[in-house]
Structure formats: structure tokens, C-alpha cells
Amino acid sequence: MTVEQIATAVDGSIVCGETFRKKEIATACGSDMMSDVMAFYHDRGLLLTGLVNIQVIRTASLLDLDGICFVRGKKPTQEMTDLAEENNLFIIETDMPMFPACGKLFAAGLKGN
């Protein structure tokens, strides 16, 4: 799926990383615990989370993820979007809860890890 298709599937919008709109993403994970992401997710791809702080961006960068989707209507700060852009990450935001967002992406063909 492309970043644009992901945003559409979760009724979301791309907040930063517009240049990645056509980038293909193959896998995703969903967690609010960055320790679980670090321990169990080993693919490049998308992180879905409701945790909104700078550590999410740092974790995604450290793990070489492609981007982040903030669920439950969470909004990243300017500091977060700036750091995401510096680290070549895209950010999507959606009002959808995590479970339905993950389900929609899985049904659309995005694989888990």
C-alpha cells in the first residue's frame, strides 16, 4: 500500500512527509508501548500509536521505520513533525481508534510482523 492509500483507509490525513505520498509500505504494527515496538517489530514500515511525544519519533527513527500513524485523534506537536521530517518519516493522523485502524489496514492488504 502507498502512504496515500493508508491515509485514505483510516480516514486520516498526511501531516508531514507529503513527498512520501506514493511510497510503498508493506508492514505495520500497533502499540502504545515503545518498549514492545523495540522488542518485537523488526521491519521497516508503519507504526500506529496513540502515544504522542517526542520519544515516538525517536523510536521510529532508531528502528528505521517509514512513518507513524497517530490514532484516536492525537495530534503531533510542531517539534515532533520537525524531527520526523529531519529523519525522513511521514506522519498520518486519524480520529479512528487503534483496533479499527489496524483492522482496516490489514483488510486492505498491509501485513503485520
Does 113 have pLDDT greater than 80? no
Half-sphere exposure of 64 (CA within 13 A, CB side): 3
Furthest-apart CA atoms within the chain: distance in Å: 33
| Per-position DSSP letters for 45-108, written without gaps between them | SEEEES--SHHHHHHHHHTT--EEEE-TT----HHHHHHHHHTT-EEEE-SS-HHHHHHHHHHT
pLDDT at 112: 84
Rounded to whole angstroms, the Cα distance separating 36 from 78 reads 26
pLDDT at 43: 78
What percentage of residues in the chain have a pLDDT greater than 90? 92
pLDDT at 42: 79
pLDDT at 18: 93
Q: What is the pLDDT of residues 31-74, one digit of tens each?
A: 999 999 999 887 789 999 999 999 999 999 999 999 999 999 99
